[in-house]
Chain A
């Protein structure tokens, strides 16, 4: 909503400096998004008060050398004259007419104006020059040169009462407040609505324009009838008849105000309806009464407000033939539709140059219906914007009378007596009660009944003290007050949010529940960060095609159910993801353009539709990705071998150890996304937790990554975290020295290392404190199909110092057990 300050001041005295006014309005919820200054200091181009003035063209003479130019003699002070060369077509009618008086905007040498011919806004400085032989050091200005509008056809012509010699800035300079209004502030979509707020906020009286209209002739009720089919869709419809209007331009002040408010002046009839809409917030529509009479074929025109019939069509005033649906509310007469209610008029009954008599509509339509129709037809307008937010039906009468008054004064119309007012169900006044106790309970401040009454009265609420209660009736321009909480907001707003003290909650602390679910998730994040991984967070919206890339091209794809977006914003974001890994691979591919080494993880939800349920399951998963050299480049040399399965397994081990998961196992498995033979299933307590390993080279290729090992884990975080024990025990430390023994055993290639370790641990018993595999060897020395595993064994007792003899005995026992159960041989 654009509010010119000069217009606002018609209804309320503005007692605050501009910066304080904008601050007060903003704090009170009428957010001043921008302040546009026109001509005054602070504007993009302030008008020099000395050099840009109101001038009077007193004579228009021919240019000696050019037919398309004239010489305008301008008086710009008591006795100051200057001759300007101009080609303005709107001065030509005065050529050779002798003494004339045309008020204009006059600029002298040195004045800064917008260059009307520049493509981008550019300021020019007016210089002394010669135009076709005639010296010139001043000019008469167009609206474009002044920055008022884009108009440059002719010069700006000011009203006859413009004070000659006055700085133009004093006469035309203005400030426009651009307000961002939240939906509850529908009442402020009008200059009066904003003035009302300013009055309440600054304690100034509000001056409303008079609604008196002289009426004459045949009563309106004899000239038009109104029928409302469904009062839920149209709460009120007022018709007034105005005869013998003269169409023409509206007065300068009205045009200026419309322009500053962002609307284009058209003619006096249209401008009046727009002006009153901006002033009061009540949208209006004018029909050509004679066209309606014609359609009524001699009968009394009857306006019928009803939903469209299926298949009904109408040509709107933009010339488009539109098909309507029963969701659209229509204004009809006995011959059919004449307007789409609150959205757009029809072409046939439109006001034109030849219109003499008009039917003025001031109605109230259901906001949902208007919103739906204007959205469906893609016809947003000032009118539908106001109806769509809600207008109080009481406003219709004010709007009708105000507009009728203008039709009388500005278009010479005769207003028919009375109005036809179909108002089937006027809303009950909203009466609420408020007590200081309630104010204290919710707002936390103590105000007396008088103070409350004073605040609400400033907003035109009708207040009566009844005992310790305030009985409050909401004014009939507001639809947003329905309960006590709404009153509390008004009290807080006018009292001033900035005046509220800051307190700490005195209410008792609710029972504290620890959020184990979150704590464990964050613990997992910390463990992965400790393992040197970078966390990423990706889009949860993707496409099934993108996720299908997790399978090599030749693997048949199963149709997976997805949560589909009905209104996707792009072809890349059509469903909720089922996989984290695909997104993390996208991140990896993008980063490989800058990096060779990546170690990433993401923890987040995936979305799995459930058969027969409206809502999906949203389990959390964990994806890990490693690729590139093991260590970053370094001048002293570093391990630049590509990371492999065991780098990833180290990360997984760090995670499961850090979470203290019991009974963890790594089971060889198969998965189409992974390199055969380099993928494992993580199990905890024998239950599957997801897979990890080296990605299949064709999957790596699918994601446009260079051909080299990419290690990835795709784990079920819900399952993992469910296995985290509530607590765990710490073992006491032995005070006695440890003994280390190394053994190397040769086993068949098929025997998994985990099995060897298990046998060692079992045989070693509780004195065996640590088993470290430090070498794996294959080669001729030990024969084909065999491998040698070398372990460092650490023995220690809690109650004595172990001797070499003890250690040897345990070692021999372990070797014997390995020989017996796994067919191992000791390598010497």
Chain B
């Protein structure tokens, strides 16, 4: 009997190895360990043995039963894994097929750059101050130290309206006067963004409308070296820490001294290329110390207060950063352009 039991165990284990799926496993179980299975039957037949052989046979029979149950559980797990592996294999997709499109909205690139500028100056304590597009000659020119017929007015080709003395602002500088008059005698630290207008032919390089962001700081202790420090910080954050910056003497009627600020050309690293007109430098903004006449017009005593102002073009900055050759792209709003941002 014992021998038969051992042989049965051997046979069952062998049969178990051929079970490849759930069904075969069930069949095997029924055949060996089920109520009518071979092993079960043999265990029941213990009664036919002589009394003294019974305990030994009983022990062995239990061992076999447990071993087979364990082998069955193992095999069952193996089969499950194999089935899962097969299913996963069949479920493979072509990962190179395009994904389902997510319709993504985007800001206009000019807005993006404006926000970047706001953020950089906000960190230096500059707040945004906005004023009107349609301005008076008084605010756009006269209060900025440009009386009628001043030669410097030639620097701005102006759109006039049919209303006497009313024009489209040529720069956001009128906001300097608005801001100073609102805040004097408190110190001022603002940036003035807005749309400006110039009477110019629309070409790849010039537009009739463009954004400008001016900055203005007025206080009792504001110096030209502060202007340089502030703009250096801006250039570093906007264009990267490796950029070189230079201050070049210039002229604006509302600042004295006046400067233009260049960075070394982003495209050619200063070696000279068509974008920088082979100078190695790109002009990024104009600036200067607020002219005493302008301070006075804003309500500050120029002997006590001083200040600096600067102005830049977000579209030009965007063009420099991304190598855009044609300024008309901005208001052209061609999605093939806008969607590249």
Contact = CB atoms under 8 A, between A and B. Distances in A.
B151 A183 contact: yes
B147 to A, nearest CB: 9
Interface stretch (B27-35, B49-57, B243-251): B243-251
A477 to B, nearest CB: 17
A634 B100 contact: yes
B47 interface: no
Given A503-B229, A569-B201, A530 B220 contact: no
Contacts of A486: 256
Interface stretch (B7-15, B74-82, B161-169): B161-169
Interface stretch (B37-45, B64-72, B84-92, B106-114): B106-114
Nearest to A532: B103
B132 A615 contact: yes
Interface string B114-138: 0100000000110111101111100
Contact of A513 (B100, B127, B199): B127
B134 A512 contact: no
Contacts of B59: none
Given A489-B258, A507-B219, A529-B107, A500 B247 contact: yes
Interface stretch (A538-546, A661-669, A717-725, A806-814): A538-546
A605 interface: yes
Contact of A522 (B115, B125, B333): B115
From A485, A517, A564, residue with most partner B Cβ within 10 Å: A485
Contacts of B105: 528-535, 599
B289 to A, nearest CB: 6
Nearest to B207: A539
Contact of B125 (A27, A512, A569, A599): A512
Interface in A168-186: 182-186
A501 interface: yes
Contact of A534 (B217, B222, B256, B339): B339
B187 A510 contact: yes
A635 interface: yes
Contact of A443 (B128, B163, B223, B251): B223
B331 interface: yes
Interface residues of B, number: 89
A317 interface: no
B154 to A, nearest CB: 7
A492 B257 contact: yes
A541 B207 CA distance: 12
Interface string B134-168: 11100000000000010110110001111111101
B188 interface: yes
A181 B302 CA distance: 28
B208 interface: yes
Contact of A444 (B197, B224, B246, B330): B224
A522 B331 CA distance: 19
A795 interface: no
B171 interface: no
A31 B258 CA distance: 13
B223 A618 contact: no
B292 interface: yes
B162 to A, nearest CB: 4
B338 interface: yes
A800 interface: no
B108 A565 contact: no
A533 to B, nearest CB: 5
A483 B152 contact: no
A495 to B, nearest CB: 10
From B128, B136, B202, B232, residue with most partner A Cβ within 10 Å: B128
B269 interface: no
B173 interface: no
A567 B160 contact: yes
Interface in A594-631: 594-595, 598-599, 605, 607, 614-616, 618, 631
Interface size range on A against B: 35 or more
B291 interface: yes
A776 interface: no
Contacts of A489: 249, 256-258
A631 B100 CA distance: 10
Nearest to A513: B127
B263 to A, nearest CB: 14
A507 B220 contact: yes
Interface string A490-510: 001100011011111111111
A28 B259 CA distance: 9
A576 interface: yes
Contacts of A444: 223-226
B155 to A, nearest CB: 7
Interface in A553-589: 563-569, 573, 576, 587
A535 B111 contact: yes
B107 A535 contact: yes
A368 B149 contact: yes
B219 A510 contact: yes
A510 B188 contact: yes
Nearest to A491: B257
Contacts of B162: 564-566
A369 B39 CA distance: 125
Contacts of B130: 517-518
B242 interface: no
Interface string A366-407: 011001100000000000000011100000000000000000
Contacts of B259: 497
A566 B225 contact: no
A367 B330 CA distance: 39
Contacts of A536: 108, 333, 338
Nearest to A371: B149
A564 B136 CA distance: 14
B239 interface: no
A525 B111 contact: yes
Given A537-B330, A567-B160, A631-B103, A614 B133 contact: no
Contacts of A440: 223
A779 interface: no
A442 interface: yes
Given A505-B226, A532-B104, A595 B335 contact: yes
B13 to A, nearest CB: 49
Contact of A505 (B201, B222, B258): B222
B257 A493 contact: yes
A506 B200 CA distance: 41
B336 interface: yes
Contact of A389 (B100, B151, B201): B151
Interface string B197-213: 10111100000110000
B296 to A, nearest CB: 11
B335 A371 contact: no
Contacts of A484: 292
From B233, B256, B257, residue with most partner A Cβ within 10 Å: B257
Contacts of A567: 159-160, 199
Contact of B248 (A27, A443, A598, A636): A27
Given A530-B105, A599-B103, A537 B229 contact: no
B221 to A, nearest CB: 4
Contact of B134 (A183, A525, A529, A576): A576
Contact of B232 (A502, A509, A607): A502
Nearest to A519: B128
B289 A485 contact: yes
The 6 closest A-B CB pairs, nearest first, are A444-B223, A29-B249, A444-B225, A182-B251, A489-B257, A529-B105
21 contacts: A185-B251, A367-B151, A372-B149, A444-B225, A485-B289, A497-B249, A504-B226, A504-B233, A505-B222, A512-B125, A518-B128, A533-B105, A534-B339, A535-B107, A535-B108, A538-B333, A540-B197, A590-B334, A599-B105, A615-B135, A634-B100
Given A506-B221, A540-B133, A540-B197, 19 more contacts: A27-B246, A184-B152, A445-B225, A485-B302, A493-B249, A500-B225, A501-B229, A505-B230, A507-B217, A514-B127, A515-B129, A535-B105, A565-B168, A614-B164, A614-B165, A615-B132, A618-B133, A618-B134, A634-B101
